[in-house]
Amino acid sequence: METEPKSSDQQKSYTDISQYRTGFAAKNKIVTAEEAVSIILDGDTVVFGGFAGIGVCEEIALAIEQRFLTSGKPEKLTLLFAVATGPGNDSNKGLNHLAHEGLLRRIIGGHWALAPRIQKLAVENKVEAYNLPLGVISHLYRNIASQKAGIFSKVGLGTFVDPRQGGGKLNAKTTEDLVRLLEIEGEEYLYYKALPVNVAVIRGTTADTDGNITMEKEALTLESLSIATAARTSGGFVIAQVERVAQAGSLNCRQVKIPGILVDCVVVARAQNHWQTIVEQYNPAFSGETRIPLTSLPRMAMDVRKIIARRAAFELKPNCVVNLGIGMPEGVANIAYEENLLDFMTLTAEPGVIGGFPAGGLNFGAGVNAAAIIDQPYQFDFYNGGGIDVAFLGMAQADRFGNVNVSRFGSKLAGAGGFINISQNSKKAVFMGTFTAGGLKCRIENSRLGIEKEGKVAKFIDEVEQTTFSGPYAAKSDQKILYITERCVFRLGKKGLELTEIAPGIDLQRDILDLIDFKPVIGRPPRLMDERIFKPEPMGLKEELLTITLENRIIYDAENNIMFANLAGYTVKNSDDIEAVRSTIENLLKPLGRKVYAVGNYDRFHIDPDLIGAYSEMQKYLMERYFTKVSRFTTTAFLRLKLGKALEDRGVAPHIYESPDEAHRFLVND
């Protein structure tokens, strides 16, 4: 990437600049913020660490702003960040400090939402501006550190980052291509161009006088090491903001996260400018100093947010690794807590938290009771490699093709953040959001949902404003994708969005189809969403989650030519559950090419009475094709009566017994 030409008093080679900066730092690594920022030259590329409301380098950002306002220097900087730090409003904090015309020439960022003042510069075409995936920027720091030319990645294909859809450019002023489309061995890749880092601004807790940095009170470690190394190998300068200073040689070497050889100067921040997060001075649970009981977590109010989170929680599986996005998806963690599921899965957050319980709001990205906190680039190695079983993500707009937009809406620039990496590479992605926005009001009565006031803004539209997630790209890879709202559920199919579920109390035409800009695919009548979602009491997901899978319930004994179907505790709630039993048995027996004996355990088997007829038809189908003789047993008299009668009505002998011994004796005695 080309940099802006230097002013006349700065026509030096980068070697000269590096020597100047190194000489400055050699005087004394502990300096004031004003002294530290004085080394920033016109046209420099400045990288800021931090993540949203966490790890804010407030002292340094403020010093840069004050220097510019008093002297007009530095000017025409390139600002690079993975996630903009700030309060999410117009107050003068975080990267909002740098939002001055003339100070910035170019901004390259992953997530912009928390610094609306720099958003404004981009939207008003006053700076060159790019939005690249957070995970790509995180990895780019590492590649710059090792002097690589850039990154080859599939992350971003089919989205607004793809050069065929704009290449991440955010306004008309932005013309240089930072992203190229290349073909390597017959496959498409995006190439993200690297650039030298002239100044790195990072944060830690303690520095010794040699510049070694520890991070014991920080909520996250992020890319601090990669950023510092990138600046050092670029011949740049590293400024570290810390809380306190220790004598050289006194720090535990295992706690040092940034070695002093990478740090040029250290600024001890004033207490008000070094909070752990932008809203919390210090929470020892965020840094792993303490573990806290989760019994004090409040239960979610019974509203649309809880309905959506409850339906999403049905996608959790035992031992799954989960990513939770900001906003609506945060509720899934609360439901997992309410349903006593947290011990059976691992929740993660993109900046490096693994395990525990994620924090929300302006503390998003931190977590309590974590098993580990790793650097963000390594978290995205894991994410990009398919390590996430299910990701729960926000959904501001969706269209007929299954594309999702969370990054830009007219003059509002949120940025993609880690959304592109996560949604594209998770085994299953679940997008969550209300069906409409802008004043939506719902009521829940007698396990039914009613719409009191419809939202003014349609969210399911013909074409999204910006493609943050590509439905067609996901459909090609057979990735499992759901779109969950309070009133219905869609899934991504080969032809686009398919309507699969509808909430009880909702009118299909009035409350759904009339409010969509396109006609979704409806292969068969949508089934009702589970009624437990709309009841105040816990849904009993723990018992359901730990239930044995169908594949492990149905086995074949080749020696005796007997199939055993252990349906004890199995629940048939809809036609899909019936189809699951049929297909599992057929997939097991069809390759054998012969009929078998079968015995079924129906203890604690639950079925909606309205589905008994369809279930019996399925049993008849299997009997005619795959079974020589069948017996069943259950201690439930009601089920013996109802299922037995339904089978007899279809000409199938039920042979339902009260014990397994009776069922087995019938099976072996001709």
Domains of the chain: residue spans and CATH: 14-149+196-270 (3.40.1080.10), 300-329+388-531 (3.40.1080.10), 547-668 (3.30.750.24)
pLDDT for 299: 86
Helix (H) or strand (E) segment spanning residue 224: helix 224-233
Average pLDDT over residues 391-403: 96
CA distances to 170, 194, 284, 508, 567 from 416, rounded to whole Å, are 12, 19, 30, 32, 45
pLDDT surpassing 70 at residue 180: yes
Q: What is the pLDDT of residues 147-172, one digit of tens each?
A: 999 999 999 999 999 999 999 999 99
Q: Which of 65-69, 142-146, 494-498, 523-527 has the lowest mean pLDDT?
A: 523-527
**574 vs 71, more confident:** 71
Higher pLDDT: 27 or 447? It is 447
Give bridge partners of residue 596 from the DSSP assignment.
627
Read off the pTM: 0.81
DSSP state of 509: I
- Measure Cα distances from 62 to 92, 119, 216, 458, 607 in Å: 9, 18, 24, 40, 64
| pLDDT given for residue 5 in this prediction | 40
Share of the chain above pLDDT 70, in %: 93
What 8-state DSSP symbol labels residue 518?
Answer: S
Q: Residue 316 pLDDT more than 80?
A: yes
State the pLDDT at residue 544.
Answer: 77
Active site residue: 65, 350, 454, 501, which one? 350
Q: Which of 232-241, 302-311, 580-589, 646-655 has the lowest mean pLDDT?
A: 646-655
Structural element, H or E, at residue 174? none
Predicted confidence (pLDDT) at residue 12 exceeds the cutoff of 60: no
DSSP E strand boundaries for 374-525: 390-394, 397-399, 404-405, 408-409, 412-413, 428-432, 436-437, 441-445, 448-453, 457-458, 460-461, 480-484, 488-493, 496-502
Q: What is the model's pLDDT at position 27?
A: 55
SS3 379: helix
pLDDT value for 16: 53
Q: Are 255 and 169 in contact (CB under 8 A)?
A: no
- For the chain, percent of residues with pLDDT exceeding 90: 79
Q: Which amino acid is at 208?
A: D
* Mean pLDDT, rounded, for 15-33: 66
| pLDDT tens for each residue of 96-143 | 999 999 999 999 999 999 999 999 999 999 999 999 999 999 999 999
| Nearest to 562, CA basis, from 509, 600, 593 | 600
Average pLDDT, the chain: 91
Structure tokens at 333: 């963690």
Q: What is the pLDDT of residue 595?
A: 95
Give residue 524's pLDDT: 80
Mean per-residue pLDDT, 300-317: 95
By DSSP bridging, strand 353-354 and strand 345-349 are antiparallel
Q: Is 289 in the active site?
A: no
Q: Is a pLDDT exceeding 50 seen at residue 2?
A: no
Q: Judge whether 314 and 306 are in contact, CB under 8 Å.
A: no
SS3 448: strand
Q: What is the mean pLDDT of residues 544-551?
A: 78
Radius of gyration of the chain (CA): 29
Please determine, for residue 4, whether its predicted confidence score (pLDDT) is greater than 50. no
Query: Hey, which of 318-322, 416-420, 562-566 has the most confident mean pLDDT?
Result: 416-420
- Could you tell me if 1 and 176 are in contact, meaning their C-beta atoms sit under 8 angstroms apart? yes
Return the exposure string of 529-550: e unless at least 16 CB atoms fall within 10 Å of the residue's CB, then b.
bbebbbeeeebebeebbeeeeb
Angle of helix 224-233 relative to helix 134-145, nearest 10 degrees, comes to: 40
Q: CA end-to-end span of the chain, whole Å?
A: 83
pLDDT of 28 above 80: no
> Has residue 23 got a pLDDT over 70?
no
The pLDDT, as a whole number, for residue 7 is 43
> Is the pLDDT score of 6 beyond 50?
no
Axis-axis angle for helices 330-338, 304-313 (nearest 10): 70
- Give the per-residue pLDDT at 666: 73
Edge-first strand listing for the sheet containing 345-349 = 372-373, 353-354, 345-349, 320-324, 390-394, 428-432, 480-484, 488-493, 496-502, 527-528
Q: Please state the rounded mean pLDDT for residues 371-383.
A: 97
Q: Where are the alpha helices (DSSP H) in 6-146?
A: 14-27, 33-37, 58-71, 116-123, 134-145
Please name the residues in contact with 657: beta carbons below 8 A apart, sequence gap of 6 or more.
631, 632, 633, 663, 666
